[in-house]
Structure 1
Amino acid sequence: MRMMPISMCRPGMRLGKKIYSEEGIVLLAEGYELTDSMIQRLQDKGIGYLHINDPRTEGIQIPEILSEETQKQSLSTLRTVFRELVDQPGKRHTGAYPYVGRSLRQVMHLVMDDLQRNRDAIIMLLNLNTLDHYLYMHSLNVCVYTLLLGMGHGYSNDQLNTLGLGALLHDVGKMKISQQLLNKPGALTAEEYEEMKRHAEFGYLMLKDEPNIPLLTAHCAFQHHERLNGSGYPRALKGDEIHEYAKWIGIVDSYDAMTGHRVYREAMLPHQAVETLYAGSDTLYDTAMLKVFRDKVAIYPVGITVRLTTGESAVVVDINAASMHRPIVRVITNEAGEDLAAPYDIDLSKQLSVMIAKVEIGPSER
């Protein structure tokens, strides 16, 4: 199986994994043969990558950080809770709707159970095979990535639960921003940008009095766009004025936004996003936190197609945890782009004369 950017997908290719509708119903079955119209529809819905069956990559297993069931249940709960937080704020504060916090803790329980089973998991592109709203997928992504960092940092289970809730709800204030503004395809005007920035304060106000949700969770929503040098918003906090949980979430939120496909722009590749984050080391982001993040990110995720310095094309088979930039790859074409009759694997951590030159993403490679 391969994980292909949708820009590389062509009619006749067959899906390696099911794709679900927003309601959790199977929309496209495993083995479905793609058409031009379906590729375009998936692209319009914000799907950035597809799992594709390819005989040359038989045996390559793309790891799932979360089980299929956890993904479905978590996204379903997020849809319900986010809408409830917007539609019924007054009633919940009377105690009539105390289940919001409990529902979110059930999500945290599911996610933590999956992650605890694989504490050494690294941050892969969390390609949720669903046509769900970007906000829900982004929230779940940020939660998972942040928890992996928190585990690597050594937080206790209680700390991880609070951190995870903060990550899960960091962008809930965007429910108060118009969909037209959130999905605007071009640059925002100064007035629109000011309105967009209000989501941090909206999130704080929506969460601060919620029963069963720690106040610190509300502060994560309030502070995740603050930056070390005071250039962030909404309060231009600096350094230690920003809670450490919000600093972690700020790094992950930026990474997932950069690597996520949106209708109006192409996604960055993981190595590009990491480089961009490091450009803000000690000015925007804490350097020690960035190092933990870098050590947990799969620069070249399993299943992605790369071009080697030899001119050959290969698919990433496995990650070398001690050398993220030198994975095990399966060579599938020669330097002329011709398919090999017998693809073969290379461990780049051992074959030092060969390196990854670029990641293949379709018509305009990066």
Structure 2
Amino acid sequence: MRLLSLSMVRPGMRLAKKIYNEDGLTLLSEHVELSSGLIKRLGDHGVDFVYIDDPRTRDIVVLDPISDETRARAISEIRSSFRKIMEDQTKRRSVGSIKVGKVFGDVLKMILDDLGGNKDAMIMLTNISLMDNYLFQHSLNVCIYASMLGMAYGYSRDELLTLGLGALLHDVGKTQIPLELLKKKDPLTDDEFMRIKKHADFGYQFLKDEPNIPLLSAHCALQHHERIDGSGYPRGLKGSEIHDYAQWIGLVDSYDAMTTHRVYRKAMLPHQAMDIVYSGSGTLYDQGKIRLFRDRIAIYPVGVTVRLNTGETGVVVDLNSNAPQRPVVRILQDADGCELSNPTEEIDLSKHLSVMITGVNELAM
């Protein structure tokens, strides 16, 4: 399979990986042939990239770190709980009946069990979802990324449960922000931005007295927009004043926001987002955490098309865990621009240091 930007997809191409709807259920299955109408509808719904079947890369498999069952259950619970909170707050009713701690605790245990089966997995773009469920999918992505980093860092199961709950619920305060404001395409006014920023306080106030929600998880909701140089919000905390869990969540929250389609801009590719995140090392984000994140993220994910400084074009077929920025590339197009019908050459960039990636997703098949 190959990961292509939607602008490179042509009618007649077939999907190689599912696309999910706002409930976390399959919208389009593998092998579905894409028509011009389907391609347009995907674009209208904020899908920027899709995995496409290509006979030359059919042996490439991109595995999701969690199972379809876990993903569907997680998105369903996030969606139903967040919507119930929105409804209850609108009607000024108590939200205690939702039992947030129990519901999300059960979901998190499923996620951790799935991740625990592959502790060496790299953080990588694996699933494609519609933009309609941004808040729900973003909450799940941040939880998965933060939990993977927590495992790599060496946190215990209990610590991972606290970190994971904080990550899963870090944006619960956005249920108190009007949807029209969250989905606004035009630049926010100063007043509107101030309202958006209140979601951190709203989240903390909602979670701090919830049964089965650790107080540290509530502080993750409060602090995930704080930055170590004091430039964050809501309290302008600095350095160690920000809990480590909140620092992890703030880091992956920024990364996922950049690699996900938003109403006001398209998704970035992982290497683009990583460049921006890394520019904040030592100012916005802790240097040690940035280094671990850099070592655990696939900035050139399996399936992505890359151009090399040799003039050749290929697709990433494997990752080097000790050098994720230097993957293994299968050559699909030679330096003269000729397509190879039966490609056999694969270049391990960790062993050929003079060969560099100079472009990503520039050419269609």
TM-score, length-scaled by structure 1: 0.93
Q: Distance in 1 between matches of 2:25 and 2:149?
A: 32
User: Where does 1:1-366 land on structure 2 (aligned, <5 Å)?
Assistant: 1-88=1-88, 90-93=93-96, 97=97, 99-129=99-129, 133-344=133-344, 345-361=346-362
Q: Counterpart of 1:55 in structure 2: which amino acid?
A: P
**Residue 267 (structure 1) shift:** 1.9
Q: Distance in 2 between matches of 1:329 and 1:113?
A: 32
Q: Counterpart of 2:276 in structure 1: which amino acid?
A: T
Q: Distance in 1 between matches of 2:53 and 2:297?
A: 25
CA distance 1:362–1:82, shift in 2 (3 Å)? farther
Q: Counterpart of 1:221 in structure 2: which amino acid?
A: A
Q: Distance in 1 between matches of 2:262 and 2:95?
A: 34
Look up the SS of the partner of 1:76 in the other structure: helix
CA distance 1:361–1:31, shift in 2 (3 Å)? same
Partners of 1:19 and 1:28 within 8 A in 2: yes
**Residue 148 (structure 1) shift:** 0.8
Q: Distance in 2 between matches of 1:135 and 1:150?
A: 22
Q: Distance in 1 between matches of 2:335 and 2:107?
A: 47
Q: CA offsets per residue over residues 4-46 of structure 1, 9 Å max, x none?
A: 2222212111011232333455432321111222112212222
Q: Distance in 2 between matches of 1:14 and 1:122?
A: 26
Q: Distance in 2 between matches of 1:272 and 1:18?
A: 24
Partners of 2:63 and 2:126 within 8 A in 1: no
Q: CA offsets per residue over residues 88-120 of structure 1, 9 Å max, x none?
A: 364344xxx263211101110110011000011
Q: CA offsets per residue over residues 174-227 of structure 1, 9 Å max, x none?
A: 111122221222321211111111111111122112111112111111110011
Look up the SS of the partner of 2:264 in the other structure: coil
**Residue 257 (structure 1) shift:** 0.7
Partners of 2:46 and 2:130 within 8 A in 1: no
Q: Identity over the aligned pairs, expressed in percent? A: 55
Look up the SS of the partner of 2:94 in the other structure: helix
CA distance 1:357–1:179, shift in 2 (3 Å)? same
Q: Distance in 2 between matches of 1:20 and 1:152?
A: 28
CA distance 1:260–1:21, shift in 2 (3 Å)? closer
Partners of 1:7 and 1:361 within 8 A in 2: no
Q: Distance in 2 between matches of 1:160 and 1:26?
A: 29
Once superposed, what is the RMSD of the aligned Cα atoms? 1.8
Indicate the larger mover: 213-222 or 125-134: 125-134
Partners of 2:131 and 2:261 within 8 A in 1: no
**Residue 128 (structure 1) shift:** 4.0
Q: CA offsets per residue over residues 228-270 of structure 1, 9 Å max, x none?
A: 1111111111112111110110100011111112243122222
Q: Distance in 1 between matches of 2:46 and 2:363?
A: 17
Q: Distance in 2 between matches of 1:66 and 1:24?
A: 13
Look up the SS of the partner of 1:357 in the other structure: strand
Q: Distance in 1 between matches of 2:276 and 2:242?
A: 21
Q: Counterpart of 1:328 in structure 2: which amino acid?
A: V
Look up the SS of the partner of 1:340 in the other structure: coil
Indicate the larger mover: 284-293 or 31-40: 31-40
Partners of 2:18 and 2:128 within 8 A in 1: no
Q: Counterpart of 1:52 in structure 2: which amino acid?
A: I
Look up the SS of the partner of 1:88 in the other structure: helix
Q: Counterpart of 2:259 in structure 1: which amino acid?
A: T
Q: Distance in 1 between matches of 2:23 and 2:284?
A: 38
CA distance 1:172–1:274, shift in 2 (3 Å)? same
Q: Distance in 2 between matches of 1:141 and 1:25?
A: 16
Indicate the larger mover: 207-216 or 72-81: 207-216
Q: Counterpart of 1:176 in structure 2: which amino acid?
A: Q
CA distance 1:337–1:178, shift in 2 (3 Å)? farther
Partners of 2:119 and 2:151 within 8 A in 1: yes
CA distance 1:98–1:80, shift in 2 (3 Å)? closer
**Residue 85 (structure 1) shift:** 2.6
**Residue 154 (structure 1) shift:** 0.9
Q: Distance in 1 between matches of 2:263 and 2:361?
A: 20
Partners of 1:171 and 1:199 within 8 A in 2: yes
Partners of 2:62 and 2:126 within 8 A in 1: no
CA distance 1:337–1:285, shift in 2 (3 Å)? same
CA distance 1:43–1:262, shift in 2 (3 Å)? farther
**Residue 172 (structure 1) shift:** 1.1
Q: Distance in 2 between matches of 1:200 and 1:98?
A: 20
Structure 1: any 5+ residue segments left out of the alignment? none
Partners of 1:5 and 1:361 within 8 A in 2: no
Structure 1 runs (4+) greater than 3 angstroms displaced: 23-26, 88-93, 128-132
Aligned length: 360
